[in-house]
Amino acid sequence: MKQKILIGIGGGIAAYKVCEVISTLFQAGMQVRVILTDSAQQFITPLTVATLSRHPAYTDADFWQPHPRPLHIELGEWADVFVIAPLTANTLSKLSYGTADNLLTNTVLASQCPVLLAPAMNTEMWQQVAVQRNWQQLLTDTRFHALAPGYGLLACDRVGAGRMAEPTEIVTGVQSLLHTQGKRDLLGKRVLISTGGTREYLDPVRFIGNPSTGKMGLALAQAALHRGAIVTLVHTAVEWSVPSGMRAIAVVNAEQMQQAMLENFPDADLTVMCAAVADVKPAEYSKDKLPKRSLPQQLPLAPVPDIVAELGRRKQSYQRLIGFAAQTGDIITPARQKLAQKKLDAIVANPIDRTDAGFGSNFNQAIFLDTQGRQVEIPQCSKLQLAHHLWDFVHGL
């Protein structure tokens, strides 16, 4: 059965970005219905969103037409997830006070599904005491889930807070809510995650590394954030941008990653060592690029810090430590060995020699193991789905 997404579009220039959200969700096999406020129609047309969603758009004009059942009731009961983007200061105020004076606000009150909010407005507007009061008040209702505005260049040429979350973030938020159905089971938990492949440099242009893109760790961070966690992400140089709402620490090599992880580990309730850390590094580093003729025929190597083992030694009774084991062939035996040797609470045995899984892919598959003897196999799915399955598994620790 197709998942049903209802999108309410407010009157702001960021409305054009929602077109990408509609198209992406439809192409992912979901049913999409769209409500346009009167002011939203000053920016995009009903024809545009109807074409992208393959279904007529709803406006306030439709609200006042006869229907077999009241339109706001029908739409509210239909939706699995309700997205409001851009959320304007006007609509935010109405929702915080329970006002219902158009199709969008009536449908919110007539629904029970999770509501994903993506505000967008000028920096001065966003920072007004009244707007922040309304925002905080609205978020006391557990139905509402926030994609806080980011920092950047706004349509008014101001650089500051108020930029709507990017379409990819909104789509990810929708996918998370479809899995969790709105539960915040990591609320208040401090989660520390490492991701990406470290680079151990021989000179300024040559390094020992691996193909890890950091996508799995990013998905873990996003899933934890959507479930209410306070997230710190230690990541290597990557092509993606870190979503707003989490603390990000960029590193390059294993030594830098170790320092960042050890500094933040004491405050973490849950730590996931997802990064692909190099096992060795060049024994010597040249600050100048080495001529090809000067490259050694046999490269002297030195070990790098075993970060996860050190975290295991420092782990306190209230902390949980989860590792990853990227393997080819038999993935379970080495994962079980690592689980015991590194003093982990759980481990993700991750095959990297299968089609469309592991390094660089948007998909993954794994077997979860823990010290209690549990073993759960997760078939191929998106990395975000795998991340949510892992957080579900962690609840049993």
List the catalytic residues.
156
The answer to whether the peptide bond before residue 66 is cis (omega within 30 degrees of 0) is no
Q: Measuring CA to CA, how many Å separate 394 from each of 138, 174, 325, 376?
A: 30, 22, 16, 11
In angstroms, the CA 235 to CA 146 distance is 24
- For 316, residues 6+ apart whose C-beta sits below 8 A from its C-beta are none
In angstroms, the CA 216 to CA 361 distance is 9
Q: Measuring CA to CA, how many Å separate 162 from each of 174, 231, 244, 344?
A: 21, 21, 12, 41
Distance of CA 344 to the CA centre of its chain: 24
CB atoms within 10 A of CB 221: 30
Strand 270-273, strand 190-195: pairing: parallel
User: CA geometry: angle at 115 spanning 114 and 121, to 5°?
Assistant: 160
Helix (H, G, I), strand (E, B) or coil at 372: coil
Q: Which of 168, 322, 159 is nearest to 242 (CA)?
A: 168
In angstroms, the CA 206 to CA 209 distance is 9
DSSP-assigned beta bridge partners for residue 160: 152
Identify residue 82 by its one-letter amino acid code: F
Q: Which of 303, 296, 311, 257 is nearest to 280 (CA)?
A: 303
> Counting beta carbons within 10 angstroms of the beta carbon of residue 252, is it exposed (0 to 12), middle (13 to 18) or buried (19 or more)?
middle
